[in-house]
Amino acid sequence: MAAFFTILIWGTTYVSTKVLLESFSPIEILFTRFIMGYIALLIIYPHKLKTKSLHEELLFMGAGLCGITLYFLLENIALTYTLASNAGIIISIAPLFTAVFAHFFLHGEKLRPQFFLGFIIAITGIILIEFNGSFILNLIPKRAFRY
């Protein structure tokens, strides 16, 4: 049941963010999202997280900035220029490129023939879903140009 709830919440984020962008800026949405997450974490785990050193603290801060803050900020900004469905499909490609980058930047990560077969199948599926039988990709909706 918890997994279903998580999928439901996660699946509606693009649409809800798109709706919120009609009234709020991308940074306001990001700030509100982080405040809600912070409050939820305080309720679930009210103890302070202890780090071993300043170096570890800085690593956590850097990971939080790059891995979470910039991701959601750029996602919110992207949703001002494209449809929620387009953003969702584009984001679904991320794990594929994570594997490619891991191959080049981490030692011992190999790309096997099965990966390439899966990559081709996944990209084909993404293209079929995105284009939905047509070849019109609406990256910048007309209402984005209304002033």
| Digit-coded pLDDT (tens) for 47-63 | 877 778 889 889 988 98
pLDDT tops 80 at residue 113: yes
pLDDT tops 80 at residue 132: no
pLDDT tops 90 at residue 30: yes
**Which residue in this structure is represented by tokens 């709706």?**
19
Reported confidence tier of residue 140, pLDDT bands at 50, 70, 90: low
Query: Nearest 5°: CA angle at 86, between 21 and 38?
Result: 50
pLDDT computed for residue 146 by the predictor:
54
**Domain that includes residue 14, residue range:** 2-145
Of 31 and 137, more confident: 31
pTM summary value: 0.68
- Is 95 in contact with 86 (CB distance < 8 Å)? no
Number of domains in the chain: 1
